[in-house]
Structure 1
């Protein structure tokens, strides 16, 4: 399901593209021009926004819901690259000629998002300030990727999981994390049964609290961070 979106998003009550970091500060008429070109889409849990090796021809702005970016290794094991949620933007590789997505984007929940084709974006936006913002954001994403790689270098499973939960806490709003054991396992390269056992230990230590079937409230972010340090 898709449609051209209105200037004001009915769900968020504000301009849908104002959460795109590299568009911050643009004149209102520019944002309105982009809004008129964006496509509003809704997809069900379990469906794919795009598959691995899909050409990168658009920017995706998540309004509501959660999206998992993942790929599979030679043995068929899933490797999660990242979890995107409300107001996040998927745009990696968007400005590289011939780029394809090295992962698929699967909806972990029902997802409401906007799709802005690069050809429309490039036609509307010419400001050099945008290029500087993109360079800065790419630097930040590289820093985040290095942080995730450092997590995987932690040998002790509980410390690695604590570091991952601390990473999520610092990259989302609020202290509630909702992820299945399989998704956490694929993110930190551990077996689901190991994840379950170590989460129970973290709960007994008062660092987290289980909420529902797949939710965790982070009670002590500083404690998680300290546990993850070598």
Structure 2
């Protein structure tokens, strides 16, 4: 172990320490931090709180104060609201290295949604006071602006999916969107979570998935996994609907 200024911090470890053997790949995969100088990454992450949650646990609830940036180190989280009929609606799904931080710079900001673990999940929390000090640095401020732009683009894409009236095209477009988000070639979501994401009934989603399988555009991978087999034809399918 070393306390040298150029040592690298391993944020995935359960204890906070600096390790000379860490290659820092964990931090360098996070858009919020990856372009910062190493000493800045270390200083910020040494203040971060590391937490583990079990599947179906709540990381925060609708109405809780926004007191920190939440970085998903490992696992998958869904952001949910409940509509007037008592049904769950998923407004976002976040995977490893994604960041939840909307509202962090607004006074008296509260979360407009719940954050629920779809899998066992590990997170870091970087508290507001530390983030506010950090954004005085020009490099991090630039990263924040870039992230805002990506979040806006992502929100526009989700709105486009919700605007599609044809159920088959909506499900197909959602699968294309999730595949780009997950980066691992397999979309691992339960039927109920897909349905809640596109505002369709689970039985409707099931039928549409079966149709896309029959057409040869996708395939099932285990109980809750879906793999896209032909991106070009699936895109054409959506465009022609």
The two structures have a TM-score, normalised by structure 1, of: 0.91
Residue 153 of structure 2 is aligned to residue 135 of structure 1: no
Residue 79 of structure 2 is aligned to residue 55 of structure 1: no
Pair 1:205–1:13, CA change in 2 (3 A): farther
Match of 1:76 among 78, 83, 86: 86
* More displaced 10-residue stretch of structure 1: 118-127 or 143-152: 118-127
Q: Does structure 2 retain, via aligned residues, the 8 Å contact 1:165–1:224? A: no
Shift in Å, 1:228? 1.8
Shift in Å, 1:26? 1.4
Residue 219 of structure 2 is aligned to residue 209 of structure 1: yes
Shift in Å, 1:218? 1.2
Residue 197 of structure 2 is aligned to residue 187 of structure 1: yes
Distance, in Å, in 2 between the alignment partners of 1:125 and 1:154 is: 38
Aligned residue pairs total 227
Pair 1:37–1:70, CA change in 2 (3 A): same
Distance, in Å, in 1 between the alignment partners of 2:85 and 2:145 is: 35
Match of 2:53 among 43, 65, 70: 43
Q: Does structure 1 retain, via aligned residues, the 8 Å contact 2:69–2:101? A: yes
Shift in Å, 1:216? 0.8
Shift in Å, 1:15? 5.4
The two structures have a TM-score, normalised by structure 2, of: 0.87
Q: Does structure 2 retain, via aligned residues, the 8 Å contact 1:4–1:39? A: no
Shift in Å, 1:83? 0.8
Q: Does structure 1 retain, via aligned residues, the 8 Å contact 2:135–2:141? A: no
Distance, in Å, in 2 between the alignment partners of 1:52 and 1:5 is: 30
Distance, in Å, in 2 between the alignment partners of 1:212 and 1:23 is: 35
Summarize the alignment of residues 1-230 of structure 1 with structure 2, pairs less than 5 Å apart. Answer: 5-7=16-18, 14=24, 16-229=26-239, 230=241
- Rg (Cα) greater in structure: 2
Q: Does structure 2 retain, via aligned residues, the 8 Å contact 1:40–1:114? A: yes
Unaligned stretches of 5+ residues in structure 2:
1-12
Partner SS, residue 195 of structure 1: helix
Over the aligned positions, Cα root-mean-square deviation in angstroms equals: 2.0
Pair 1:73–1:159, CA change in 2 (3 A): same
